[in-house]
A and B are shown apart, each in its own frame.
Chain A
Amino acid sequence: MSYFAILITYVFISNLILAQFLGLCPFIGVSKNVESAVGMGFAVTFVMSIASLVTWALYHFILLPLGLTYLQTIVFILTIASLVQLVEMVVQKYSPVLYKALGIYLPLITTNCAVMGIALINIQSGYNVLESFTAGIAAGIGFLLAIVLMSAIRVQMETEKVPRFLKGAPIAFISGGLMAMAFMAFDKALLNNLVG
């Protein structure tokens, strides 16, 4: 699969949130305003691309030779969680500006299932290292796109008259569902048309 195809696949067709329903907690939790949604989106993109690389290396250089592939889920959880912690420390030490922008979101991603999801999908799809990295970035961009769109909708909704029993999370889930239906327009046929 070409890198462009991977990009289109994970941003639009198999969007982690809107098509695969992974990582819904930050999608609902941090989408109350556009600013924090953008911060969260970039933090997730950042972590996903690094996590894709690290888990690919871990799987191919350690788990596969040792015949421990059945441990991949639990080992990936450990790796991603520690990786995020480490990245947080490094960022805090060397780039206070970046830490201010991303820092508060990083701990929230330690156990995010979207990050875990893209790591496992990479292995299952048999990507090589660069394809995994591309998939990681693409999935992150897909997440960014979804959460920013969602936050814009929610900001708009603040001023609308919403029935009281639907206020907050319920109406957010309903609009998220409608958005997911809209994203169903992107399917495999689109990819075939684009890359032939």
Chain B
Amino acid sequence: MDQVLRIFWGFLSTVLFGGLLGTGLAIASRKLKVEKDETVEALEGAFPGLNCGACGYAGCGSYAEAVAAGTDEDLTKCKPGGADTLEQVGSIMGVEVDTNAARMVARVHCIGGSEEAVRSFNYQGISDCTAATVLFNGDKACKYGCLGLGSCAGVCPVNAISKTDNGLVVVDQDLCISCGKCVDICPTGVMRMIPESADFIVACNSRDKGKDTKANCKVGCIGCRICEKKFPDAGYKVEDNLSFLSYDSKDPGRAEAAAKCPAKCIIPNKVKAEEASNAG
């Protein structure tokens, strides 16, 4: 009985003591509350709160502080928030903000899946593109292509990237918040940002000479310049044996150029939602 009482007293005094400390802390937290700057709080509410770091700050909080303190005058750094956030930030700070800045999305510039692209060896290491790149620039014969191991999917804060069945990855552009993390981590540079409004893309990243590209992949850009020469106004420009498309102007010639492309690597940009969700 003595032992039981001892346990009881021990229990009771610990509970009392803990309760006392807890109450004390609760009162203290009320009394010692630090008033946050109203502007900062309003700004934090306007930002998406993803803490993705696209603005270059540690998180939404630190960007809000910098904006409120006036140390950062660029109010358009929050890409994930889109036009809504920009509008809110503008009204909080009392400044006109250009909300029409084109939303950028990430896109894999490669369609050389397991059937189209030649593999030089069978990679069986860990599922990480950087690890694969260390081994002879990856298992693809083309060292510029998408390795499809999904390092980008791993860093995407909103899970917009998924692997496909044919050894590539695909970005769901509706979910993409343009934070650019996938672009940073991609070892081959095949992930690039394009305007969401882009109608066509040159889905290849190979800087190899035309002959080599052709040997490595059925759908690689061979730098033949047909798109550039036949449709000079469409915005195609071939550099380093690779055609780049500039989106400054809209020109119907792009569709015809896509049809004329011998490698068939100029494709419509829009990834259909169901295609993205079926993948992987």
Task: Say if A and B assemble together.
Answer: yes
Give the B-binding residues of A (Cβ under 8 A): 66, 68, 70-71, 74-75, 78-79, 82, 85-86, 89-90, 92-93
Which residues of the partner chain B approach A79 to less than 8 Å between Cβ atoms? 21
- B interface: dominant SS: helix
Instruction: Indicate if the CB atoms of A71 and B13 lie closer than 8 Å.
Output: yes
Contacts of B21 in A (CB 8 A): 78-79, 82
Contacts of A85 on B, CB cut-off 8 Å?
25
- Picked from B10, B17, B28, the residue with its CB within 8 Å of the CB of A70 is B10
Could you say which of A66, A74, A89 contacts B29, with CB atoms under 8 Å apart? Answer: A89
Q: Cα distance A78–B14 when bound, in Å?
A: 9
How many residues on chain B are close to A (CB under 8 Å)?
Answer: 14
Contact of A71 among B10, B22, B34 (CB under 8 A): B10
Closest Cβ neighbor of A96 among chain B residues: B34
Distance, CA A79 to CA B17, complexed state (A): 9
Complex formed: what's the CA distance from A70 to B7 in Å?
Answer: 11
Contact (Cβ within 8 A) B18 A78: yes
Residues of A within 8 A of B24 (CB): 82, 86
A90/B25 in contact, CB under 8 A = no
Contacts of A75 in B (CB 8 A): 14, 17
| Contact residues in B for A89 (Cβ distance below 8 Å) | 28-29, 32
> Given A86-B25, A89-B32, A92-B32, are A68 and B13 neighbors across the interface (CB < 8 Å)?
yes
CA distance A170 to B25 in the complex (A): 39
User: Can you list, as one digit per residue, whether each of B1-40 has a CB less than 8 Å from chain A (1) or not (0)?
Assistant: 0000000011001100110011011001100101000000
Q: Give the residue of A66, A68, A74, A86 whose beta carbon is less than 8 angstroms from that of B28.
A: A86
Closest to A75 in B: B17
